[in-house]
Amino acid sequence: QVQLGESGGGLVQAGGSLRLSCAASGSGFSTSAMGWFRQAPGKEREFVAAISWNGQITNYADSVKGRFTISRDNAKKTVYLQMNSLNSEDTAVYYCNVGPSTLVIKRGDFASWGQGTQVTVSS
């Protein structure tokens, strides 16, 4: 079973960049798809990006395409989310999660979530 911990959030000005990290422990990371989600105040949690176990398949929400990049380092058991051209609508708590495929990841139907990492974009 994989345990996850998100980090890298913070306060950034509009137009700036941040890189989030999701570190995994336990077994199964290198054979699992990974994904990022976010939840803004008063809104439902939403899918942001997903990556297959080998990094060859990536999926993005339309709202972040061209601005965010998901990547992974299986040797470090870490998945990243590079976020560029941030705007106020990106303000949210960001979470990562694990699943058997990017399709499953996108459904976002997980029994548990970590604490996430807060991203705040000031305008």
Identify any residues that bridge with 119 across adjacent strands, giving them in sequence order: 10, 92
Query: How would you list the strands of the sheet with 2-7, edge to edge?
Result: 2-7, 18-26, 78-83, 68-73
**pLDDT by position in tens, the chain (length 123):** 788 999 999 999 999 999 999 999 988 899 999 999 999 999 999 999 999 999 999 999 999 999 999 999 999 999 999 999 999 999 999 999 999 999 999 998 898 899 999 999 998
What's the Cα-to-Cα distance from 95 to each of 21, 39, 62, 67, 123, rounded to whole Å?
10, 8, 18, 18, 23
